[in-house]
Amino acid sequence: MGSGGAAASAPGAGTSGAAAVPLRFVFVANYILARRPDARPPLPARSASALASALASLGLAAFRPFPVNHIMDSHGLRLEGRAGWKVVFSADTRPCAQTVEAARGATLLVHEATFEEGMQGEARAKKHSTTAEAVEVGEKAGAYRTLLTHFSTRYPTLPELDLSPHPSVGVAMDLMAVNLADLPGLPALVRPLGMLFKLMEEEKMADGAEEE
Protein backbone atom coordinates (compact mmCIF):
# COMPACT_ATOMS: atom_id res chain seq x y z
CA MET A 1 0.00 0.00 0.00
CA GLY A 2 1.31 3.44 -0.84
CA SER A 3 4.78 4.37 -2.09
CA GLY A 4 8.15 3.11 -1.00
CA GLY A 5 9.00 -0.44 -0.07
CA ALA A 6 10.22 -3.38 -2.10
CA ALA A 7 10.48 -3.51 -5.85
CA ALA A 8 9.71 -6.61 -7.91
CA SER A 9 10.77 -7.39 -11.45
CA ALA A 10 8.58 -8.85 -14.14
CA PRO A 11 9.37 -12.39 -15.34
CA GLY A 12 11.87 -12.32 -18.17
CA ALA A 13 13.38 -8.98 -17.17
CA GLY A 14 16.67 -8.39 -18.91
CA THR A 15 15.70 -10.29 -22.06
CA SER A 16 15.05 -8.70 -25.42
CA GLY A 17 11.87 -6.63 -25.45
CA ALA A 18 11.23 -7.05 -21.72
CA ALA A 19 11.70 -4.54 -18.94
CA ALA A 20 11.53 -4.55 -15.17
CA VAL A 21 8.20 -3.40 -13.78
CA PRO A 22 8.60 -1.78 -10.36
CA LEU A 23 6.03 -2.92 -7.83
CA ARG A 24 6.25 -0.73 -4.75
CA PHE A 25 4.29 -1.47 -1.63
CA VAL A 26 4.27 -1.13 2.13
CA PHE A 27 2.79 -3.91 4.23
CA VAL A 28 0.04 -2.77 6.61
CA ALA A 29 -1.20 -5.47 8.98
CA ASN A 30 -4.95 -6.03 8.90
CA TYR A 31 -5.19 -6.50 12.66
CA ILE A 32 -4.07 -2.89 13.09
CA LEU A 33 -6.55 -1.54 10.54
CA ALA A 34 -9.33 -3.53 12.20
CA ARG A 35 -8.28 -2.36 15.68
CA ARG A 36 -8.89 -5.78 17.17
CA PRO A 37 -8.63 -6.19 20.96
CA ASP A 38 -5.43 -8.21 20.56
CA ALA A 39 -3.81 -5.60 18.31
CA ARG A 40 -0.06 -5.38 18.61
CA PRO A 41 1.92 -2.08 18.89
CA PRO A 42 0.77 0.94 16.85
CA LEU A 43 1.30 1.18 13.10
CA PRO A 44 4.99 1.86 12.26
CA ALA A 45 5.64 5.39 11.00
CA ARG A 46 6.52 4.19 7.48
CA SER A 47 3.32 2.17 7.18
CA ALA A 48 1.25 4.98 8.66
CA SER A 49 2.67 7.38 6.08
CA ALA A 50 1.89 4.98 3.21
CA LEU A 51 -1.66 4.46 4.49
CA ALA A 52 -2.24 8.20 4.80
CA SER A 53 -0.93 8.70 1.25
CA ALA A 54 -3.24 5.99 -0.12
CA LEU A 55 -6.27 7.43 1.67
CA ALA A 56 -5.51 10.91 0.37
CA SER A 57 -5.08 9.75 -3.23
CA LEU A 58 -8.41 7.88 -3.08
CA GLY A 59 -10.30 10.68 -1.37
CA LEU A 60 -10.93 8.51 1.68
CA ALA A 61 -11.28 9.61 5.29
CA ALA A 62 -11.26 6.02 6.59
CA PHE A 63 -10.47 2.49 5.41
CA ARG A 64 -11.60 0.14 8.15
CA PRO A 65 -11.90 -3.67 8.06
CA PHE A 66 -14.21 -5.24 10.66
CA PRO A 67 -14.62 -8.89 11.72
CA VAL A 68 -17.60 -10.83 10.38
CA ASN A 69 -19.13 -14.24 11.08
CA HIS A 70 -17.70 -16.57 8.45
CA ILE A 71 -14.47 -18.56 8.50
CA MET A 72 -11.54 -17.57 10.72
CA ASP A 73 -10.24 -14.02 10.21
CA SER A 74 -12.96 -13.04 7.74
CA HIS A 75 -13.51 -9.30 7.49
CA GLY A 76 -15.90 -6.86 5.92
CA LEU A 77 -14.78 -3.37 4.92
CA ARG A 78 -16.00 0.15 5.65
CA LEU A 79 -14.92 3.00 3.39
CA GLU A 80 -15.63 6.61 4.31
CA GLY A 81 -15.15 9.32 1.70
CA ARG A 82 -13.98 12.81 2.52
CA ALA A 83 -17.06 13.98 0.62
CA GLY A 84 -19.22 12.45 3.37
CA TRP A 85 -20.35 9.12 1.89
CA LYS A 86 -19.87 5.75 3.56
CA VAL A 87 -19.82 2.41 1.70
CA VAL A 88 -19.74 -0.92 3.54
CA PHE A 89 -19.00 -4.37 2.11
CA SER A 90 -20.21 -7.28 4.23
CA ALA A 91 -18.01 -9.94 2.58
CA ASP A 92 -19.11 -13.56 3.13
CA THR A 93 -20.89 -13.65 6.47
CA ARG A 94 -23.84 -14.60 8.59
CA PRO A 95 -25.93 -11.63 9.72
CA CYS A 96 -23.97 -10.14 12.62
CA ALA A 97 -23.90 -7.15 14.94
CA GLN A 98 -20.49 -6.09 13.59
CA THR A 99 -21.90 -5.52 10.11
CA VAL A 100 -24.92 -3.66 11.48
CA GLU A 101 -22.64 -1.37 13.49
CA ALA A 102 -20.21 -0.80 10.61
CA ALA A 103 -23.10 0.04 8.26
CA ARG A 104 -24.87 2.36 10.70
CA GLY A 105 -26.16 5.26 8.60
CA ALA A 106 -24.19 4.08 5.54
CA THR A 107 -24.81 5.55 2.12
CA LEU A 108 -24.54 2.06 0.66
CA LEU A 109 -24.32 -1.43 2.16
CA VAL A 110 -23.28 -4.19 -0.23
CA HIS A 111 -24.37 -7.40 1.51
CA GLU A 112 -24.06 -10.99 0.39
CA ALA A 113 -27.32 -12.89 -0.11
CA THR A 114 -26.14 -16.37 -1.04
CA PHE A 115 -29.33 -18.24 -0.19
CA GLU A 116 -32.98 -17.56 -0.95
CA GLU A 117 -35.69 -17.48 1.68
CA GLY A 118 -36.53 -20.91 3.09
CA MET A 119 -32.88 -21.99 3.09
CA GLN A 120 -31.92 -20.68 6.53
CA GLY A 121 -30.54 -24.09 7.51
CA GLU A 122 -28.08 -24.15 4.61
CA ALA A 123 -27.16 -20.52 5.26
CA ARG A 124 -26.35 -21.24 8.90
CA ALA A 125 -24.39 -24.38 8.06
CA LYS A 126 -22.25 -22.62 5.46
CA LYS A 127 -22.07 -19.30 7.31
CA HIS A 128 -23.74 -17.24 4.62
CA SER A 129 -26.88 -15.06 4.59
CA THR A 130 -30.32 -15.39 3.05
CA THR A 131 -31.85 -12.54 1.07
CA ALA A 132 -34.22 -11.68 3.93
CA GLU A 133 -31.38 -11.68 6.46
CA ALA A 134 -29.30 -9.36 4.30
CA VAL A 135 -32.23 -6.98 3.90
CA GLU A 136 -32.77 -7.00 7.67
CA VAL A 137 -29.14 -6.08 8.32
CA GLY A 138 -29.47 -3.06 6.05
CA GLU A 139 -32.70 -1.98 7.72
CA LYS A 140 -31.27 -2.38 11.22
CA ALA A 141 -28.26 -0.29 10.21
CA GLY A 142 -30.41 2.39 8.63
CA ALA A 143 -28.41 2.22 5.39
CA TYR A 144 -29.70 4.52 2.66
CA ARG A 145 -29.36 1.75 0.07
CA THR A 146 -28.64 -1.96 0.43
CA LEU A 147 -27.40 -3.93 -2.57
CA LEU A 148 -27.83 -7.70 -2.43
CA THR A 149 -25.10 -9.69 -4.15
CA HIS A 150 -23.17 -12.99 -4.15
CA PHE A 151 -26.22 -15.04 -5.10
CA SER A 152 -25.72 -18.79 -5.15
CA THR A 153 -24.47 -20.38 -8.37
CA ARG A 154 -27.75 -22.33 -8.43
CA TYR A 155 -29.18 -19.18 -10.03
CA PRO A 156 -27.99 -18.63 -13.63
CA THR A 157 -28.76 -14.92 -13.35
CA LEU A 158 -30.93 -13.53 -10.56
CA PRO A 159 -33.12 -15.41 -8.09
CA GLU A 160 -36.81 -14.59 -7.97
CA LEU A 161 -37.06 -11.72 -5.49
CA ASP A 162 -39.99 -9.69 -4.25
CA LEU A 163 -38.38 -6.59 -2.81
CA SER A 164 -41.43 -4.34 -3.15
CA PRO A 165 -41.85 -4.11 0.66
CA HIS A 166 -38.24 -2.89 0.89
CA PRO A 167 -37.88 0.29 -1.20
CA SER A 168 -34.26 0.87 -0.18
CA VAL A 169 -32.98 -2.48 -1.54
CA GLY A 170 -31.45 -3.23 -4.94
CA VAL A 171 -29.49 -6.08 -6.49
CA ALA A 172 -25.98 -6.34 -7.89
CA MET A 173 -24.13 -8.90 -9.98
CA ASP A 174 -20.46 -9.72 -10.54
CA LEU A 175 -18.56 -6.94 -12.35
CA MET A 176 -21.46 -4.52 -11.91
CA ALA A 177 -20.33 -0.91 -11.37
CA VAL A 178 -22.53 1.53 -9.47
CA ASN A 179 -22.11 5.29 -9.30
CA LEU A 180 -23.17 6.70 -5.94
CA ALA A 181 -25.11 9.36 -7.83
CA ASP A 182 -27.34 6.59 -9.22
CA LEU A 183 -28.32 5.14 -5.84
CA PRO A 184 -31.77 6.78 -5.68
CA GLY A 185 -32.98 4.83 -8.72
CA LEU A 186 -31.43 1.44 -8.01
CA PRO A 187 -34.43 -0.20 -6.28
CA ALA A 188 -36.60 0.57 -9.31
CA LEU A 189 -34.26 -1.51 -11.46
CA VAL A 190 -34.77 -4.80 -9.61
CA ARG A 191 -37.72 -5.98 -11.70
CA PRO A 192 -36.41 -4.77 -15.10
CA LEU A 193 -33.00 -6.32 -14.42
CA GLY A 194 -34.62 -9.62 -13.47
CA MET A 195 -36.64 -9.64 -16.69
CA LEU A 196 -33.61 -8.68 -18.79
CA PHE A 197 -31.35 -11.37 -17.40
CA LYS A 198 -34.07 -13.99 -17.64
CA LEU A 199 -34.43 -13.15 -21.34
CA MET A 200 -30.66 -13.30 -21.82
CA GLU A 201 -30.53 -16.72 -20.16
CA GLU A 202 -33.35 -18.03 -22.37
CA GLU A 203 -31.53 -16.79 -25.48
CA LYS A 204 -28.30 -18.39 -24.27
CA MET A 205 -30.04 -21.73 -23.74
CA ALA A 206 -31.69 -21.50 -27.17
CA ASP A 207 -28.34 -20.83 -28.83
CA GLY A 208 -26.84 -23.83 -27.04
CA ALA A 209 -29.67 -26.07 -28.21
CA GLU A 210 -29.16 -24.96 -31.83
CA GLU A 211 -25.44 -25.76 -31.66
CA GLU A 212 -26.23 -29.30 -30.50
Residue bearing the bigger pLDDT, 159 or 207:
207
Query: What stretches of the chain show up as alpha helix (H) in DSSP?
Result: 30-33, 45-58, 97-102, 120-126, 131-141, 190-211
Q: Are the C-beta atoms of residues 32 and 42 closer than 8 Å to each other?
A: yes
Query: What is the per-residue pLDDT for 167?
Result: 85
Query: What is the per-residue pLDDT for 184?
Result: 94
d(CA 195, CA 157): 10
Q: Where are the domains of the chain?
A: 1-58, 59-211
Query: What is the per-residue pLDDT for 24?
Result: 72
pLDDT tens-place string over residues 47-86: 788 888 889 999 999 999 999 999 988 999 999 999 999 9
Helix (H, G, I), strand (E, B) or coil at 123: helix
Helix (H, G, I), strand (E, B) or coil at 149: strand
pTM score, two decimals?
A: 0.76
pLDDT cut 90: percent of the chain above it: 42
pLDDT tens-place string over residues 21-52: 676 777 777 666 766 555 556 667 777 888 88
How many other CB atoms sit within 10 Å of the CB of residue 143? Answer: 25
Class of the domain covering 59-211: alpha beta
